[in-house]
Chain A
Amino acid sequence: MLFYLVLIAMWEGIFRTGIWPDFLFPSPLGVFQNVLEGFQDRSFIIAIGASMKRVILGYSISLVLGLSLGLLIVASKFLDEVLSPLLLGLQTLPSICWLPLAILWFGIGEDSIIFVVAVGSTFSVSMATLGGVKNVPPIYMRVARTMGAKGIKAYTSVIIPAAFPTIITGMKQGWSFAWRALMAGELLSPKDGLGYILTLGRDLHDMNQVVGVMIIIIIIGLIIDKFIFGKVECSIRQRWGLNRA
């Protein structure tokens, strides 16, 4: 906490020296005021709401798609050999590269942004599912087989729970991809949302707003990463006894 106070103090100090004009380098106070105003006139709240709606929708789609794609591929050796390299390639493609295609398919607006968000995290979720399932210790499967679990039952009772720690890591990574894809999408195809007010700030030369929105984006990303995925991951590790070094 102290570190951040020092950081803000240094920021203010540099601002006070006046090396850069205030439309290029904002002061912490100005940024804070701007954020406060944004929340008071509800424009930030509306933007956050719009962004969250998109990311939740896109991310949910990617979870369903990614999990089923991963499970489908791992179930067949042929699909695994054919599709795994493709999947890896698509995962390395920055999701914003899908935006031109999305705009042509869905037009500028809501659908294309959700598409980009979904594409952004689908592949890391499915790669993690693939890897997690492949790394399930064979002994678990042998136990399941002698206990009479076959087919779907073996999947739901052993393979998926055993792969879950890896899958949740992929979901976490997918979330951060989704969040980045959302911001990029909103910047390039603006309608509303956090990315939109960020561009608006640039257009109006309102440096306070630009930095303020950036900070909000960081904080939201951090909160979800730490408090949702961090909690889930930690409780799973606790359960499995992986936290004991």
Chain B
Amino acid sequence: MLKLKGAGKIFSTNNGKIKALENVNLTVARGEFLSLVGPSGCGKTTVLNIIAGLEKASSGKVYKEGREITGAGPDRIVMFQEPALFPWLRVIDNVEYGMKIAGVSKKERRERAMHYLKMVHLTRFAHHFTHELSGGMRQRVALSRALAMNSDILLMDEPFAALDSQTRRILHTELQQIWCATKKTIIFVTHNVEEAVLLADRVIVMAADPGRIKKEYRVNLARPRAPEHAGLIRIVNQIMKELKEEVEKVARSEYDSGWSLQKSAFLLSPDSNVGGNI
């Protein structure tokens, strides 16, 4: 079980201090699939980094199984937006990297690496160098590298954002299957609401300036889920409505006064006089 208690983060920049996160309280149950969505700059990645131990919270505390988190560790593997594979290693050695650091024997390392490469259907490319792979394949290698660590918590920071929609869809299915098979706790950061609802048990909507939790939604739909499912679309629309306000707030602050709120959703189409001659 993972617990954030009053977590806050302040970044000091040359132009003063920026309050990135304020009083975030969050409890994640074991084996839960949680998504964090929000407009850019709402601190969702910061929350993930604090849980990962890659960044320190300016205030508040983070607990895992009742113990405070003080630094990064292999019990909370992070998967980043870019694959971040090591170009000097072959695919299989990349997957084995974390296990090598942990001191797993060579034979077991290889077996586990092959097992997880099989899970993402890349055993054929085990002995290739990473630059010989496509973007989607690289991200799949990164996924199997993260899975191979056998950590109970997997933190994913917009891992599929840079991929084309077909590849992303395949990876959504794979990730759901993997989650069902491994029962890991997954925290998934994304700006894509459909993706969040499709994957998660619970979706946390965050607001910006300062970054905080705005609302949370439970997604009680059967798995495997398809993006066309009506119940899913209904939740997506609810969250979208909630987010719209936030996105506009961020846009206004980023575009200064040049941004004007959309006044009406009414389209002035040539058909607007339909029925005028009755």
* Docked-complex contact A145 and B86, CB < 8 angstroms: no
B78 neighbours in A (Cβ, 8 Å): 142-143, 146
Within 8 A of A (CB), among B82-116: 82, 84, 86-89, 97-98, 100-102
Across chains A and B, the number of contacting residue pairs, with CB separation under 8 Å, is 66
Cβ distance B109 to chain A, nearest Cβ, rounded Å: 13
Subset of 18 A-B contacts with CB under 8 Å: A140-B84, A142-B78, A143-B78, A146-B52, A146-B53, A146-B78, A147-B77, A147-B97, A148-B73, A148-B74, A149-B101, A153-B101, A157-B97, A161-B88, A239-B87, A240-B129, A240-B131, A241-B132
Q: Which interface class (under 10, 10 to 19, 20 to 34, 35 or more) fits B?
A: 20 to 34
A residues less than 8 Å from B185 (CB atoms): none
B84 lies within 8 A of A241 (CB): no
Residues of A within 8 A of B129 (CB): 239-241
| Cα(A172)–Cα(B130), bound, Å | 26
Are B80 and A139 closer than 8 Å at their CB atoms? yes
Give chain B residues whose Cβ lies under 8 Å from the Cβ of A164.
88
Specify which of A148, A161, A162, A239 lies most central, judged by the most chain B CB atoms within 10 Å of its CB.
Answer: A148
If the complex has contacts A139-B80, A240-B131, A241-B130, are A148 and B86 also in contact, measured as CB distance less than 8 A? no
Does B102 lie within 8 Å of A148, measured CB to CB?
yes
Residue B54 at the chain A interface, CB threshold 8 Å: yes
Contact yes or no, A146 B73, CB < 8 A:
yes
Alpha-carbon distance A148/B132, docked complex (angstroms): 27
Q: Is the CB of B101 within 8 A of A142?
A: no
Q: Does B76 contact A (CB under 8 A)?
A: yes
Q: How far is the CB of A159 from chain B (nearest CB, A)?
A: 11
**Contact A142–B86 (Cβ < 8 Å):** no
B72 within 8 A of A: yes
Residue ranges of A at the interface with B (Cβ–Cβ < 8 Å):
137, 139-140, 142-149, 153, 157-158, 161-162, 164, 239-241, 244
Q: Which residues of B contact A145 (CB under 8 A)?
A: 53-54, 71-72
Shortest Cβ gap from A138 to chain B (Å): 10
> Which residues of the other chain, A, contact B77 by a CB distance below 8 angstroms?
146-147
* Bound: A149/B54 CA distance, A: 13
Q: Is the CB of A142 within 8 A of B54?
A: yes
Given A145-B54, A147-B74, A239-B101 contact (CB < 8 Å): no
Evaluate contact between B80 and A142: CB separation under 8 angstroms: yes
Q: How far is the CB of B45 from chain A (nearest CB, A)?
A: 12
Q: How far is the CA of A244 from the CA of B89 in the complex (A)?
A: 18
The 10 tightest CB contacts between A and B, nearest first, are A241-B131, A148-B74, A147-B98, A145-B72, A240-B87, A146-B78, A161-B88, A139-B84, A149-B101, A146-B72
Kindly identify which residue among A140, A146, A239, A240 contacts B74, using a CB–CB cutoff of 8 Å: A146
